[in-house]
Amino acid sequence: FSLTDMMATLACMTNQQLPPGAAPDSYNYWSLIKEDKKTERPNIIHHSNEGMFAIRKGKWKYVDGKGSGGWSADDTNDNAPAQLYDMEKDPKETTNLYNKYPAIVKELKDLLEKQKTQGYSVGKSL
């Protein structure tokens, strides 16, 4: 659940209709809260103060660039252009797995680029 999801969830809770185009990244969690179901947001985009994007999906976090985390652009042991972390095993983001899991890097980078290009992550009910 993200703060972004509050708008769609509260609108549903209070039987409000959001205007077209409002809260495009907001997912409605009301039915999950009401029915106490366990679920996971499909993915979520992060954006740093320096303009760097990152995306999380499941246990994976892809950061589209160097720095702004446990691994830094100054790390001479890693020539990767971006970062990939297993957040279940490495919540402090100390080990960049970019070169170890190229298929996951491609999937997350493609998903991030798609959402950046379309300007939203397709808000919907979960």
- Residue 104: what residue type? I
The predicted pLDDT at position 88 comes to: 94
Q: Tokens 């708008």 map to which residue?
A: 7
The predicted pLDDT at position 49 comes to: 59
Q: Is 53 left (phi over 0), alpha (psi -120 to 50) or beta?
A: beta
End-to-end CA distance of the chain: give it in Å, rounded.
11
Paired strand residues for 60? 57, 86
% residues pLDDT > 90 (the chain): 27
Q: Choose among 100, 115, 102: nearest CA to 42.
A: 115
User: pLDDT at residue 37 above 80?
Assistant: no
92 compared with 3, residue with greater pLDDT:
92
This prediction has a pTM of: 0.66
